[in-house]
Structure 1
């Protein structure tokens, strides 16, 4: 009976979020001409979610509902993120838009946290969806910071905001690596493909994982170059959500230490098991050199 009550609670909560997402989606579809594949997929998922949330209590599967909602917002926000990138993150509006998207991508974990069905997010969402949620938030902040640092004013204005975005982005990307255990290599286990085994032992399960290491290294570089002496002030953005650390945000992130460690890992992988696979290490080596000679 308790499980049924909890399932009904989750259905009501996710159903409300689904209705709100659908209201956000409709004008996006109209603006896109109704033919964007990601918005179509999001719409299909939200319509299915709407039907499932109205089923009898005994048939409600909270995990299915949350996963369906998560996939819908991943598709919908992907369209919105691409639009931001295409528009080169407009100065007057992009900060608020980034905040909105990160809040939306944090909602699935908020629902799980408010539910007493599962003590861990991974039990209800699964590691792949969680990795995707953290990757998308981290990559969004990476792209925003990339644009800001490329502008002249980004080097002198609102550095407190830039620093917080960098710290949150790094936190999201590092958290992405915590949901699956790296393969443990030992002499008792043999592998036909030693390169693949090496990748799995390093926690690299996809191209996205490897790209996340490079993104993290670049953000550490921007943090050390532009923000290392800046103390966070009253920011007009709050990207706090599941995966960011309030303790970390109150302290100065060790940009150099984290950056050096993760870029060495990136270079080792690209020039080791992925040698000849077109992964470029030139920029990573330049950043490492900067870390080693910077006297901040």
Structure 2
């Protein structure tokens, strides 16, 4: 089937984005480690091939599947490039003078995946054209990056006080991204019915929204960010917004984590000491 008008314009958009990403990669020169630089070179080569692929498309005969394939490839390259940038931020210990700008740059690049998906397929939800796994990775990476920033910055009480409003917003955003990530995947009734007959432990995890180790880690990260938020309120640094039920959110995700670790995942190498400690503070 030939491309629809929407997909036609979407493929043109993908061609433009492939060129933009390629130009961005060609001008980047901020990496300190040889491994990071090597990984960047790999991404540049992949992007160059993607650029060639989009330029060779026949706009009259290309279809939705062609556009989805290119969109997914574009998304993977952006995610890989930004992962290198994130690792560089961690390696640099999130320097106070530049961290916020660099974090926003990473988030903007990741968010652009969703913008391109919407322009390419305006009648579809991003999950429908990118797939569940890519959508989860997008939200996980955004939430995990903000978690890592807070993990570095919040123990530094003076830096926390200097950047209190920014950190409050970052905690709010990080919690929101991780909650969205945990809600992307929904099991269908048939899947639950089949599992109920065969694999009880797996069924318990899926009913709790835990499909992978990353989902379990997202529960812990989200719970710890809720703890930091609650602690900052108690220290008089934040005001508690009535519409942001941070204690309820933190309590719920930490209980889900503890239940999984003490139940189906018992003996699998996970511990819940820290989660129990955080939960006790949140509900006190």
Does the alignment reach a TM-score above 0.5? yes
| Residue of structure 1 equivalent to 2:62 | 59
Q: How far is the alpha carbon of 1:24 from its aligned partner?
A: 2.7
Task: Give the Cα separation in 2 of the matches to 1:87 and 1:43.
Answer: 23
- 5+ residue gaps, structure 1: 233-249
Task: Give the Cα separation in 2 of the matches to 1:136 and 1:180.
Answer: 16
1:158 matches 2:163: yes
- 5+ residue gaps, structure 2: none
175, 179, 198: which one aligns with 1:174: 179
Q: Is the 8 A contact 1:118 1:124 kept in 2?
A: no
Q: Is the 8 A contact 2:13 2:119 kept in 1?
A: no
Q: Is the 8 A contact 1:45 1:68 kept in 2?
A: no
| Residue of structure 2 equivalent to 1:198 | 204
Q: Is the 8 A contact 2:219 2:257 kept in 1?
A: yes
Task: Give the Cα separation in 2 of the matches to 1:188 and 1:40.
Answer: 45
1:35–1:216 distance in 2 versus 1, CA, 3 Å: closer
Task: Give the Cα separation in 2 of the matches to 1:284 and 1:183.
Answer: 30
1:180–1:37 distance in 2 versus 1, CA, 3 Å: farther
Q: Describe the SS at the equivalent of 2:129.
A: helix
261, 270, 273: which one aligns with 1:270: 261
Q: How far is the alpha carbon of 1:213 from its aligned partner?
A: 0.2
Q: What is the CA RMSD across the aligned residues, in angstroms?
A: 2.6
Q: Is the 8 A contact 1:41 1:75 kept in 2?
A: no
1:214–1:35 distance in 2 versus 1, CA, 3 Å: closer
118, 123, 126: which one aligns with 2:123: 118
Q: Is the 8 A contact 1:159 1:227 kept in 2?
A: no
The Cα offsets for residues 159-185 of structure 1, whole Å up to 9 and x where unpaired, read as: 111111011111111111222114658
68, 72, 78: which one aligns with 2:83: 78
| Residue of structure 2 equivalent to 1:106 | 111
Q: How far is the alpha carbon of 1:155 from its aligned partner?
A: 3.5
Q: How far is the alpha carbon of 1:120 from its aligned partner?
A: 1.2
The Cα offsets for residues 27-61 of structure 1, whole Å up to 9 and x where unpaired, read as: 54784547756434422431232122112111352
| Residue of structure 2 equivalent to 1:47 | 48
| Residue of structure 1 equivalent to 2:137 | 132
1:183–1:115 distance in 2 versus 1, CA, 3 Å: closer
Matches within 5 A, 1:208-219: 208-219=214-225
Q: Is the 8 A contact 2:146 2:174 kept in 1?
A: yes
1:222–1:59 distance in 2 versus 1, CA, 3 Å: same
1:189–1:173 distance in 2 versus 1, CA, 3 Å: closer
Q: How far is the alpha carbon of 1:62 from its aligned partner?
A: 1.7
Paired residues, what number?
276
